[in-house]
Amino acid sequence: MTTTHRHDRKDAGPPIEVPIEIPPAGLEGTIMVPATAKGIVLFAHGSGSSRLSPRNRAVASALYASGCGALLFDLLTDAEAADRRNVFDIPLLAGRLLMATRWIAGREDLRDLPVGYFGASTGAGAALVAAAEVGAGIAAVVSRGGRPDLAGAALPRVTSPTLLIVGGDDPDVLALNREALAVLRCEKAIEIVPGASHLFEEPGTLDTVVRLAQQWFGHHFTARKPTGSR
């Protein structure tokens, strides 16, 4: 098993990504964990994206800079990703996120860190389903341009503080997020980024996502005392 490298943020500069493989499906990923990390964020990509998603990688690097670890991994194997139906199989994607969560819990160097989920597009639905399953073991959830509505009956069972970030120029997804927000029973908030479309490609919009995610995870990781293995 590859050893996770921890680095002092003051000396390390850009995050060093360590390749990993998550059993039993053999999911490929990379992990970056700063010294004295506040917590670790697991990324759930959506709509066929992978661990190489440039937007999620940008968010992960920014979270690292603010003292949070990040795990980016492929929720599907190459063979599974070839079947487009799997991209929208929320129970399958949530199961893979749970697989990664168990992998973290099994690591002596990581198991005491608070865990958060960051979901994009369909990955947000999977993140909320997984959060409902884990319960108190997930410190916080952030959705970027997500489809929390795809979590369906799991939404009212989510206990993790949840932040929904939506582009102001993404009206259909914004409507779905507002509906999902009304169903959530946990600590919750919605942030609408003016001028942002679904992919947050407009200048400055992804920076706003980064700032909001840093604040949400930073606050809830700091509030969470180490709980040992989950």
**Which residues are bridge partners to 18 per DSSP?**
31
Indicate whether 113 belongs to any domain: yes
Segment 173-192 mean pLDDT: 98
Place 83 in a pLDDT band, splitting at 50, 70 and 90. confident
Indicate whether 82 belongs to any domain: yes
pLDDT over 70 for what percent of the chain? 89
Indicate whether 163 belongs to any domain: yes
User: DSSP labels for the chain?
Assistant: -PPPPEE-HHHH-SPPPEEEEETTTTEEEEEEEETT-S-EEEEE--TT--TT-HHHHHHHHHHHHTT-EEEEE-SS-HHHHTSHHHHT-HHHHHHHHHHHHHHHHT-TTTTTS-EEEEEETHHHHHHHHHHHHHGGGEEEEEEES--GGGGGGGGGG--S-EEEEEETT-HHHHHHHHHHHHH--SSEEEEEETT--TT--STTHHHHHHHHHHHHHHHHHHHSPP----
Place 12 in a pLDDT band, splitting at 50, 70 and 90. very low
Segment 131-152 mean pLDDT: 97
Indicate whether 228 belongs to any domain: no
Segment 184-203 mean pLDDT: 96
Domain residue limits at 209:
6-223
Residue 10 sits in a domain whose CATH number is 3.40.50.1820
Indicate whether 93 belongs to any domain: yes
Q: What is the reported pLDDT for 8?
A: 36
Q: What is the reported pLDDT for 22?
A: 87
Q: What is the reported pLDDT for 4?
A: 37
What domain count does the chain have? 1
Quick check: bond before 24 cis, omega within 30?
Answer: yes
Indicate whether 91 belongs to any domain: yes
Q: Where is average pLDDT lowest: 6-10, 114-118, 147-151, 220-224? A: 6-10
Segment 2-17 mean pLDDT: 47
Tens of pLDDT, residue by residue over 40-71, are 999 998 765 667 678 888 999 999 999 999 99
Indicate whether 65 belongs to any domain: yes
Indicate whether 11 belongs to any domain: yes
Segment 172-199 mean pLDDT: 97
- The whole-chain average pLDDT of the chain stands at 88
Q: The pTM is what?
A: 0.89
Place 14 in a pLDDT band, splitting at 50, 70 and 90. low
Place 7 in a pLDDT band, splitting at 50, 70 and 90. very low
Q: What is the reported pLDDT for 50?
A: 63
